[in-house]
Structure 1
Amino acid sequence: MGEPTFEDLFRQAKHSAVHLEMRDGYMRSDPEFVAWSRDPHSVPARHDPVSRHWLALMRETTDRGVAVRRARIFSEPMSDYLRFEHHLTAGNVGAGEQVRWLPRRRASDLALPGNDFWLFDDALVLFLHFTGEGELSPEGDEERTRDPGVVRLCSTAFESVWDRAIPHEEYRPV
């Protein structure tokens, strides 16, 4: 039996899954992003878990009492890609995720790991590796560790960002 899949990690989570995003762009080849860049009105901010598998997974996870929190550190003015993500985030919040935004200028004095990550139940860190263009790295897009020092670093970094960040419902892109 191999390692649990990314989705399995949510299904196995007992109390928390937190995600720290620190890039100004991801997956720019995503067809929805490409369509949105041409015409922002062409991609509705879908809230229906049937149309967005991620929302179904988040609803399933949060309905079990698992707190799912996502914090995004970003540059202002916000990149087009993050404007696209902001456009879709209300669906994430509706599915039970808590999301906050932290302008990069307010993160200068925080100690942060070198890569985006998910931290499950304060025990397992899943680092995500991207190319310079924001695509998942072909050399291996993830790295997992249970090393207590790395877990502590990521937990502390996330909580520091979370404490300063602006709740999604209050943040308006600049």
Structure 2
Amino acid sequence: MDLITSAQRDELFDSFTHDAFHLELRDDYGSPIEDSPYARWQRGESDDYAWLGPWMTRMKRVTGEGKAVRRVRVITEPHTQYVRWEHSLTNLNLEAGEDIRWLPRHLLPEGVVFPVAGRDWWLYDDRLLAVGHFDPEGRVLGSEIVTEAATVAECVRLRDLLWAVAIPHAEYKS
């Protein structure tokens, strides 16, 4: 299986036309760009968020063009430290135009089955998936591009189901 890099996946934001949706299923992630800011947060130190600059610029541009960027974060309660940190940063994502909702695992609709082996994925324009692959520590190995119609349709169905029951960030109390 061929994997694209995170940078190549981010380039997909330059070509989608109306909707990008991210399903996040992990309670912990590892990313070299996040290591230092996360460690500072754990020590109670301040952050200038400069490391988020490229993402924020991209999100402001695409959402400013009228395109939607949405996420559902399926999380365990009580939260891991990483989820607490992620929650503390979410207002920055919202300011850039993303729409983020939270869904505690215990509130998942009965019988939900996660396609693509329960991995995270980005869905672009209901036609292309970028399925995340991670190592055991949660570090991104890359994304697998999937365009197979039945798999994409299952992800569209799940996105719509989860979006309807997930809690908007402003209403979710961590």
Q: Residue 169 of structure 1 corresponds to which residue in structure 2?
A: 170
How far apart are the structure 2 equivalents of 1:7 and 1:22?
19
Of residues 114, 117, 121 in structure 1, which corresponds to 2:121? Answer: 117
Matched, 1:81 2:82: yes
Q: How much does 1:5 deviate?
A: 2.3
Q: How much does 1:6 deviate?
A: 1.9
In the superposition, the TM-score normalised over structure 2's length comes to 0.87
Contact conserved, 1:28 with 1:81, CA < 8 A, in 2? no
Amino acid aligned to 1:111:
V
Residues 1-174 of structure 1 mapped to structure 2, 5 A cutoff: 5-27=8-30, 30-39=35-44, 41-43=45-47, 46=49, 52-107=53-108, 109=110, 110-113=112-115, 114-137=118-141, 141-173=142-174
SS of residue paired to 1:69 = strand
Query: For structure 1, which runs of at least 5 residues remain unmatched after alignment?
Result: none
Q: What is the CA RMSD across the aligned residues, in angstroms?
A: 2.0
How far apart are the structure 1 equivalents of 2:130 and 2:101?
20
Contact conserved, 2:23 with 2:72, CA < 8 A, in 1? yes
SS of residue paired to 1:86 = helix
Query: For structure 2, which runs of at least 5 residues remain unmatched after alignment?
Result: none
In the superposition, the TM-score normalised over structure 1's length comes to 0.87
Q: What's the % identity of the aligned pairs?
A: 38
Q: Which has the higher helix share?
A: 2
